[in-house]
């Protein structure tokens, strides 16, 4: 431990350091997000889903090769379901071999393992690898695209429609920054084993080195994905994610002016989020938060809790200002089924609700006998 009495200069330094940091953490409002050159963007906390910054996040734009994030998501699902193996060999069709744009350099009629093609999609953004796997999984690219759109609807990506598996320009091919962030969260949460592929910087196929276009993988060790995209009409796009400590953020920038600009825009947003916000898990699913009285049941007391873990995001230094309140339905009578919503948990900061979650019954309470129902009925009548 440093003895502050040894030097007045050291003492002064620590006093200034303490004042500055605590004032910044507790008293100053969160500044506006940095201005970036992307046409639309979103910055979102992975765990809570809270949006920390956005501009035109719901506007429909061309996603370019970020489209392949959904292509890979569909393929991950097929692998998890046991309908596809990483070691399966895929015959490369003429259509796949002739695809324009970025390539994994697979040869027509050759047999390539699924895992190599997946790396080609994720690392090299190969259009040939994408179409080859789409045909292998669904019989044709068109059928595979139908699967992509089905998954998009299931995930609530209401501003998205896919016309191909690669992201090549098409009038009916569009998405939003908000939808891409949603998809990114599902990829990370549902397929952590395969999400590791997005941090691969380089791999070789047919003796040809293939490099990841996500420059942030080289510039920031906390960044571990996700996907780049570019066409002349879409501009430069990047969905990125970084984890620092226990907090993970997702940034999506679309329609930026250059490869360098999309990297700078993304990093500026990520740094802003980590600097001015923090997140934590407040309560676990199934954790009893309140016991309530149940009338006319075989038991009087019923524990309430959450059906899912509750994560929140809030300005740095404001954790002690958070306030939790509970609203419960009045006069609850049996029978009550486990999982039934009976109230709401509200988390507020400076009298503004920043998170809420339904409170559910953590166990079932069946209806009591005639005597219990009669006695409680009388009590309720006089209540």
Residue 9 has pLDDT above 50, yes or no: no
Beta bridge partners of 245: none
What's the Cα-to-Cα distance from 278 to each of 74, 108, 248, 286, rounded to whole Å?
Answer: 32, 50, 10, 24
Residue 249 has pLDDT above 90, yes or no: yes
Residues 179, 160: contact at Cβ < 8 Å? yes
Which residues have a Cβ under 8 Å from the Cβ of 354 and sit 6 or more positions away?
50, 312, 314, 322, 347, 348
Residue 296 has pLDDT above 70, yes or no: yes
Residues 255, 233: contact at Cβ < 8 Å? no
Mean of pLDDT values over 314-336: 93
Determine which one of 125, 175, 184, 265 is catalytic.
125
Which residues have a Cβ under 8 Å from the Cβ of 369 and sit 6 or more positions away?
298
Beta bridge partners of 43: 53, 251
Q: Is there a catalytic annotation at residue 68?
A: yes
Residues 285, 307: contact at Cβ < 8 Å? yes
pLDDT interval class at 150 (50, 70, 90): very high
The DSSP secondary structure of 178-223, one letter per residue, reads HHHHHHHHHHHHH-HHHHGGGG--EEEETTEEEE---THHHH-TTE
pLDDT interval class at 27 (50, 70, 90): low
What's the Cα-to-Cα distance from 83 to each of 121, 128, 191, 238, rounded to whole Å?
Answer: 19, 22, 16, 30
Report residue 327 as tokens: 């609203």
Q: In the prediction, which pLDDT does 62 show? A: 96
Question: Per residue in 65-113, pLDDT tens?
Answer: 999 999 999 999 999 999 999 999 999 999 999 999 888 889 999 999 9
Residues 179, 243: contact at Cβ < 8 Å? no
Determine which one of 39, 40, 48, 68 is catalytic.
68
| Gap between the Cα atoms of 299 and 316, Å rounded | 43
Judge if pTM exceeds 0.75.
yes
Mean of pLDDT values over 184-209: 93
| Gap between the Cα atoms of 84 and 78, Å rounded | 6
- Domains of the chain with bracketed CATH: 40-277 (3.40.710.10), 284-382 (2.60.410.10)
Of 169, 186, 189, the residue nearest 127 (C-alpha):
169
């Amino acid at each position: 431990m440093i003895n502050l009495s040894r030097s007045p200069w050291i003492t002064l330094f620590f006093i200034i350091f303490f004042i500055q940091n605590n004032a910044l953490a507790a008293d100053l409002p969160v500044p506006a997000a940095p201005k970036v050159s992307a046409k639309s963007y979103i910055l979102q906390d992975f765990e809570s889903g809270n949006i920390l910054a956005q501009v035109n996040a719901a506007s429909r734009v061309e996603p370019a090769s970020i489209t392949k994030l959904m292509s890979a998501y569909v393929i991950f699902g097929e692998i998890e379901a046991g309908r596809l193996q990483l070691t399966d060999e895929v015959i490369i069709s003429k259509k796949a071999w002739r695809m324009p744009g970025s390539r994994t350099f697979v040869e027509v009629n050759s047999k390539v393992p699924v895992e190599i093609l997946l790396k080609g999609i994720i690392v090299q953004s190969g259009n040939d690898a994408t179409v080859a796997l789409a045909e292998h999984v669904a019989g044709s690219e068109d059928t595979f695209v139908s699967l992509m759109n089905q998954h998009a609807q299931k995930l609530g990506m209401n501003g998205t429609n896919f016309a191909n598996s690669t992201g090549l320009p098409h009038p009916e091919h569009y998405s939003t920054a908000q939808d891409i962030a949603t998809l990114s969260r599902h990829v990370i949460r549902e397929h952590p084993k395969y999400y590791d592929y997005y941090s691969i910087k380089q791999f070789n196929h047919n003796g040809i080195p293939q490099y990841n276009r996500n420059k942030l993988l080289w510039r920031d060790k906390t960044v571990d994905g996700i996907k780049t995209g570019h066409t002349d009409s879409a501009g430069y796009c990047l969905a990125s994610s970084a984890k620092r400590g226990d907090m993970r953020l997702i940034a999506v920038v679309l329609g930026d002016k250059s490869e360098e600009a999309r990297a700078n825009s993304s990093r500026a947003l990520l740094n802003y989020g980590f600097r001015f916000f923090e997140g934590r898990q407040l309560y676990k699913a199934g954790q009893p938060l309140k016991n309530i009285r149940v009338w006319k049941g075989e038991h009087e007391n019923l524990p309430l809790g959450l059906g899912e873990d509750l994560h929140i995001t809030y300005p740095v230094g404001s954790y002690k200002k958070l306030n939790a309140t509970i609203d419960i339905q009045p006069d609850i009578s049996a029978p009550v089924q486990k999982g039934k919503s009976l109230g709401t948990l509200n988390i507020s900061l400076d009298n503004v609700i920043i998170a809420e979650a339904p409170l559910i019954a953590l166990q079932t309470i069946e209806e009591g006998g005639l005597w219990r129902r009669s006695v409680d009925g009388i009590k309720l009548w006089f209540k």
